[in-house]
């Protein structure tokens, strides 16, 4: 057979001649086949001797590999060149299902007949039975056949994928060919193929065909109109969100729309809970907005993969990163469309937090993390076509930079050197700027930042910008910072040993603990030196514990260099 290699024939002759008891072998093979499927029963009836066993094996293997070769030829024929018009009309379907059934692979389109089901497995069983009785050669033949059948199974899976791709291609070409085909009038006795009857008509068929086409056109026009209306609505909704930053809310419950929602055929969108309640109503299902009737199966479940830009931290619990971060995010979102903004802070950690919050709110934010990245990030900011925020430390961007593309400057915290702030503001308010500029300063109420702001105003009259200015504070300034608001200081809530209490309560706890410790050494707390802290005389050891958190916070947040007189 041309479908089997010559080694198959030679190996079968060698192995069958090497069997010691041919009759016993035939009996065992027939018994094994009869215990299997109908196909096995049919094969057992055809095997009467060793010679017929060889003939049956070679015939069935030839049939299996012959079908494989036929499918391969048919698939490759359409892959070597572009299909012609004749190929589109005359292309057949490869018999993949029959080949799959022979290999034990079933599908929804597998023929109901089980005649060829799992022929390969039966042939391997026969070869395995022969291998037990052969003195040499047969084990190698069994392994070879098992490997070949495994390769054919893999090839069949890939062939199905190729056939599906070819089928889709031929279908598209056929659709294109039909679009270019014109109606033709023929005589009743003219020869015509079945595929040509759709466009080669006799005179009596013309009115009927015209009515069919007019009805199809009307249905298509109505379908197009029903699709265009939701499209226009969605485009309008998209433009509105881009221009006015409208918060997406459910039109029924007026809650903020979650990422997962239900879209109706009319393109109106409602939340999952409201849609579920509307579906459960006994009356006909209609859109609450436009009253368009629909059914449950036409309502789609969609996901908003892009976070909404109109993020409002005030109404939804904030970002969880602090009130200052929430306020800055809301201020950026409230700016006019397309506005670019410079954001300055002296703390890299704060810049990272703001980048995280702004990005979550849908704002494009660029951060200058290192000096070497400054030029590239600045170039990217200047050439960004839409609204954008450039966040950077004062030490990188406050001097020698011209950024007239930005119209807003945000100062995250005040500085003791007002000249540095002035330099930061002058990055946008300079020659070449033809738009109004705005500066936004953020100060936390009842905090050390208010004290820094007061000191800044006092120094602003005689301040002179120097290249290497350092923030310094005198003992008088330090006293002013601590005594800015005595009541606010003592009422401030702090955390000590997993407990939350006021600073006044913490002072009392520290005093009791310190008194007990001093009592062990026969000392008294009243004999310890005292210091005035926000209008109250406090023992120095207690004041050290009481102000420890404030000192660490100031060291990290303000980096004050305290100069004692």
pLDDT tens over the chain, length 565 residues: 566 666 565 566 566 666 667 778 778 777 777 776 777 777 778 888 877 877 777 777 778 878 888 878 877 877 766 666 666 555 555 556 666 666 656 555 554 444 556 677 777 777 777 766 665 555 566 677 778 778 878 888 888 788 778 777 877 877 787 777 788 888 888 888 877 787 888 888 888 988 998 999 999 888 888 788 778 777 777 776 665 555 578 888 888 888 888 888 888 889 999 999 899 888 889 888 888 888 888 888 887 765 444 444 444 445 567 788 888 998 998 888 888 999 999 888 888 889 888 888 888 899 988 888 888 888 888 888 888 999 988 887 656 677 888 889 999 988 877 778 888 888 887 777 788 889 999 988 777 787 787 777 777 655 444 444 555 556 555 555 555 457 767 777 777 666 777 888 888 888 888 887 888 788 888 888 888 877 788 888 888 877 776 666 555 444 434 433 3
What distance in Å separates the CA atoms of residue 359 and residue 352, rounded to the nearest whole number? 11
What distance in Å separates the CA atoms of residue 123 and residue 129, rounded to the nearest whole number? 10
Which segments of 134-192 does DSSP mark as H helices, in order? 138-180
Within 10 A of 558 (CB to CB), how many other CB atoms are there?
A: 21
Burial of 56 (0-12, 13-18, 19+ CB in 10 A): buried
Do the beta carbons of residue 367 and residue 378 sit within 8 Å? Answer: no
Q: Give the model's pLDDT for residue 61.
A: 78
Residue with tokens 């009319």: 266
Q: Which domains does the chain have, with CATH numbers?
A: 6-176 (no CATH), 323-466 (3.40.50.300), 486-563 (no CATH)
Query: What Å distances lie between residue 44 and 52, 56, 392, 464, 555, CA to CA?
Result: 10, 10, 85, 109, 94
What distance in Å separates the CA atoms of residue 155 and residue 483, rounded to the nearest whole number? 85
Do the beta carbons of residue 137 and residue 14 sit within 8 Å? Answer: yes
Do the beta carbons of residue 396 and residue 373 sit within 8 Å? Answer: no
Among 530, 549, 547, 550, which residue's Cα sits nearest to residue 539?
530
Query: What Å distances lie between residue 266 and 92, 246, 280, 292, 347, CA to CA?
Result: 42, 20, 19, 7, 50
Torsion of CA 130, 133, 136, 141, to 10 degrees: 20
Query: What Å distances lie between residue 456 and 163, 449, 551, CA to CA?
Result: 78, 10, 20
Crossing angle (nearest 10°) for helices 448-459 and 475-482: 140
- HEC readout, 505-545: HHHHHHHHHHHHHHHHCCCCHHHCCEEEECCEEEEHHHHHH
Q: Give the model's pLDDT for residue 310.
A: 45
- Bridge partners, residue 184, by sequence: 200
Among 50, 59, 46, 47, which residue's Cα sits nearest to residue 19?
50
Tell me, rounded to whole angstroms, the distance of Cα 393 from its chain centroid.
32
Crossing angle (nearest 10°) for helices 22-34 and 119-133: 150
């Amino acid at each position: 057979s041309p479908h089997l290699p010559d080694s198959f024939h030679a190996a079968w002759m060698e192995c069958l001649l090497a069997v010691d008891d041919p009759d016993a072998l035939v009996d065992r093979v027939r018994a094994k086949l009869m215990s299997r499927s109908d196909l096995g029963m049919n094969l057992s009836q055809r095997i009467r001797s060793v010679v017929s066993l060889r003939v049956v094996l070679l015939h069935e293997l030839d049939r299996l590999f012959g079908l494989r070769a036929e499918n391969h030829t048919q698939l490759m024929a359409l892959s070597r060149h572009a299909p012609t018009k004749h190929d589109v009309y005359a292309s057949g379907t490869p018999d993949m299902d029959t080949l799959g059934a022979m290999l034990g692979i079933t599908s929804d389109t597998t023929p109901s007949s089980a005649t060829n089901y799992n022929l390969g497995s039966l042939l391997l069983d026969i070869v395995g039975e022969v291998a037990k009785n052969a003195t040499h050669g047969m084990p190698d033949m069994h392994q070879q056949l098992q490997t070949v059948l495994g390769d054919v199974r893999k090839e069949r899976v890939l062939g199905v994928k190729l056939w599906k791709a070819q089928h889709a291609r031929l279908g598209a070409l056929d659709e294109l060919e039909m679009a270019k085909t014109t109606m033709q009038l023929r005589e009743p006795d003219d020869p015509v193929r079945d595929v040509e009857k759709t466009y080669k008509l006799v005179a009596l068929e013309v009115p009927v065909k015209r009515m069919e086409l007019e009805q199809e056109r009307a249905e298509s026009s109505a379908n197009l109109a029903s699709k265009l209306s939701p499209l226009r609505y969605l485009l309008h909704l998209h433009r509105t969100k881009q221009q006015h930053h409208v918060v997406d809310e459910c039109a029924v419950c007026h809650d903020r729309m979650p990422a997962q929602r239900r879209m109706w055929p009319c393109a109106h969108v409602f939340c999952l809970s409201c849609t579920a309640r509307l579906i459960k109503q006994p009356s006909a299902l209609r859109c609450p907005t436009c009253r368009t009737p629909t059914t449950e199966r036409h309502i789609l479940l969609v996901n908003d993969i892009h976070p909404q830009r109109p993020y409002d931290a005030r109404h939804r619990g904030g970002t969880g990163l602090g009130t200052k971060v929430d306020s800055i995010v809301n201020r950026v979102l409230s700016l006019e469309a397309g506005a670019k903004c410079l954001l300055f802070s002296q703390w890299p950690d704060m810049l990272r937090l703001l980048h995280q919050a702004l990005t979550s709110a849908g704002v494009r934010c660029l951060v200058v993390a290192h000096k070497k990245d400054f030029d590239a990030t600045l170039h990217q900011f200047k050439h960004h076509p839409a609204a954008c925020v450039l966040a950077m430390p004062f030490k990188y961007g406050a001097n020698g930079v011209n950024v007239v593309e930005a119209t807003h400057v945000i100062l995250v915290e005040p500085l003791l050197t007002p000249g540095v702030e002035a330099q930061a503001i002058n990055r946008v308010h300079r020659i070449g700027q033809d738009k109004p500029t705005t500066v936004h300063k953020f100060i936390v109420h009842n905090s050390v930042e208010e004290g820094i702001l007061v000191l800044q105003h006092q120094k602003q009259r005689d301040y002179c910008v120097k290249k290497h200015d350092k923030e310094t504070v005198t003992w008088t300034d330090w006293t002013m910072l601590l005594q800015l608001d005595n009541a606010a200081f003592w009422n401030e809530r702090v955390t000590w040993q997993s407990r939350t209490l006021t600073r006044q309560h913490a002072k009392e706890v520290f005093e009791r603990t310190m008194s007990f410790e001093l009592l062990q050494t026969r000392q008294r707390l009243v004999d310890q030196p005292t210091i005035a802290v926000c209008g109250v005389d406090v023992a120095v050891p207690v004041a050290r514990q009481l102000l420890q958190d404030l000192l660490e916070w100031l060291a990290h947040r303000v980096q004050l260099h305290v100069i004692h007189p």
